[in-house]
Structure 1
Amino acid sequence: MSILGDAMRTIESVVLLRSKVERLDEELAATNNEVRNMFGVLLQMDRRIVRLETLEEMRTGVRPFPKIEG
């Protein structure tokens, strides 16, 4: 009976681990979507900053400020 009990506990552990892995996979997918959305927002902000810098340079007639690269 001990072998059967060990087998049942092992199967239960596998089922629980599989459930945890599936939940973590869903959380990872959600986090991945959030990162993609944030990347899009950051690109939009970068474009806006470049436009504002260009408008300010045109308005003041000052040479362009050194751009931060990176």
Structure 2
Amino acid sequence: MSVTQHHLLDTYRARLLGEPAPPAPGTRDWQVVREWRDHRQFRAALAGRPPHGRLRQALSRLLRVRPRSTG
């Protein structure tokens, strides 16, 4: 049974039972990835290692010294 067929079957069962329909497959994939990354950063901070992430990368880009162009 494919993922789509399984989702359609779950939606049909939920409708028969009067329950809310389940989310479509793949709608929360990025949310799961972000939560996993946040959890890794939290564990790194607890272990005393510097957490790496979007904020640190953005700050490093802003603070990076750029050579002046001569011309």
Please tell me the TM-score bracket, short chain as reference: 0.3 to 0.5
TM-score by length of 1: 0.34
Q: RCO higher in 1 or 2 (8 Å CA, sep ≥ 6)?
A: 2
The structure with the largest helix share of the pair is 1
- Structure showing greater radius of gyration is 1
